[in-house]
Amino acid sequence: MDIVFTPELLVAFGTLLVLEIVLGIDNVVFISILAGKLPPEQQNKARVLGLSLAMFLRIGLLFAASWVITLTADVFELFGMGFSGKDMILIAGGLFLLYKAVTEIHERLEGEEHHEGGAGKKAATFGGVIVQILLIDLVFSIDSVITAVGMVDELWVMVAAVVIAVLIMLFTAKAVSDFVNRHPTVKMLALAFLVLIGVMLIAEGFEYKIDKALIYGPIAFAIGVEVLNLIARGRAAKKRATHSEPLHLRQGTMKVEDGDVVASTPSGAGDHSI
């Protein structure tokens, strides 16, 4: 197979790569939040495995592109509205994402993980987290592959864009995860972001198209405002540390042989004994 790099092909590749990265942001945020429920030594492994599964799943679906396209054909009708395989996957995935995000927000607000030392609350397992990541990977992969097939005809271009996008996400996932978990307000914004994505997936499943700019735009603005707040809080904390009073040590005590306790004098006070 001869590969000819035409300007049109390079533009299509660049556009598809950007779209794959944008569509992958949802995945990274979701994986970061789920991985954060695991012990620290397992979190990075879960992120890498989750994103690797996403890459192989998307590549597999690209090679089965002819089957993926058939998912857009209506399977049944309900109240005069047709539903395809893609629609059902998007609705199921949207409901799952909505449930997970709302549950996580409820836990953060109610603080259930701190009640009774966590007793009665089932701890997240590595296998359970990977299964949840795989389910949401499937939803985002279907959307990603259909977008890719609609933009480019060359399979190698689609595969290259997917692989490069996932590699970029692999290198940035830990930084994103650490940042989200380190700042509770950012994590709440990320969960709100996932709620919006879940609603958007459900709407698309019902053939109601929502411009993604209406979702990503406000979220990007909110995150930008929160970053400014974090910078302002950081500078205020530095100023407080700079102008804080020096640490005062308590005066020590020592015992003398007759049992009396006398306060030790600061250094340089001198000896006033007669």
pLDDT tens, position by position, 209-224: 777 777 777 777 887 8
- 168: in domain: yes
Task: Note whether 84 and 73 are within 8 A (CB).
Answer: yes
- 173: in domain: yes
State how far the Cα of 19 lies from the Cα of 143, in Å rounded to an integer.
Answer: 11
- 266: in domain: no
Range of the domain at 80: 7-240
Give pLDDT, residue 107.
Answer: 81
- 260: in domain: no
State how far the Cα of 153 lies from the Cα of 128, in Å rounded to an integer.
Answer: 37
- 258: in domain: no
Task: Note whether 33 and 190 are within 8 A (CB).
Answer: yes
- 132: in domain: yes
- 75: in domain: yes
- 270: in domain: no
Domain count across the chain: 1
Give the tens place of pLDDT for each residue, 152-176: 767 777 888 888 888 888 888 888 7
Give the tens place of pLDDT for each residue, 104-129: 888 877 765 444 444 445 667 888 88
Residue 271 CB partners (closer than 8 Å, separation 6+)? none
Mean pLDDT value across the chain: 75
